[in-house]
Amino acid sequence: MKKVLINLVHPNMKESKINKQLLSEATKLDNVTINNLYEKYPDFKIDFEREQKLLIEHDVIIFQFPMYWLSSPALLKEWFDVTLTYGFAYGTEYNLKNKDFVVATTTGSSSKEFASTGNNEYEVAEFLRPFEGTAKYIQMKYKKEFVCYESFVISDEELDKRAKEYKQYIEELSK
């Protein structure tokens, strides 16, 4: 079974409903490690050696975050800049080569809003292209994203269903 690292990037987890539930289901799996970046680095001073060690120790790397203005929270960009360095992630060494790169994101919009006829005009996958490009550049395998829509109005039943699907998704990635 592959070892899974979930890099949780949520600046306000205490008030999160969906990300808490997704994380709760994911932590039921023995092969999952949670790395809460905002908890560890509220000042944005990232211990890149610690982060690189975690990446090397795991086979599947999930970046879980709420979509903010059609992207990720700011700390994740800083994390990429500081952690995925020349000589570690690309260039002379590709230490993450063939590991799985996954985005799990939540959004307040409905799936209809992420369509050519919706307000956002594009599917979520289009907004995640920079993540896919990063994965390919450092020779990781980019996997299909997991998206949970309508975070502000989702029913408890639907949230429970989606959280269980997230757990199943991680189990599939672990094989």
H or E element that contains 63: strand 60-66
CA dist., res. 156 & res. 136, Å (int): 36
The DSSP line for 84-128 is S-BTTTBTT--TTTT-EEEEEEE-SS-GGGSSTTSTT-S-HHHHT
pTM of the shown model = 0.96
Find the mean pLDDT for residues 162-172.
98
CA angle (10, 12, 15) in 5-degree steps: 125
**Model confidence band, residue 115 (pLDDT cutoffs 50, 70, 90):** confident
Contact 137, 129 (CB under 8 A): no
Structure tokens at 1: 């079974």
CATH code of 106's domain? 3.40.50.360
> CA–CA separation, 38 vs 111, rounded Å?
27
- Report the distance separating Cα 109 and Cα 88, nearest Å: 37
The tally of domains found in the chain comes to 1
Which tokens in the block code for residue 85?
A: 């360095």
* Residues pairing with 106 in the sheet: 66, 148
Average pLDDT over every residue of 132-145? 98
Tens digits of residue pLDDT in 59-84: 999 999 999 999 999 999 999 999 99
Run of H or E including 165: helix 156-173
- Domain of residue 143: give its range: 4-173
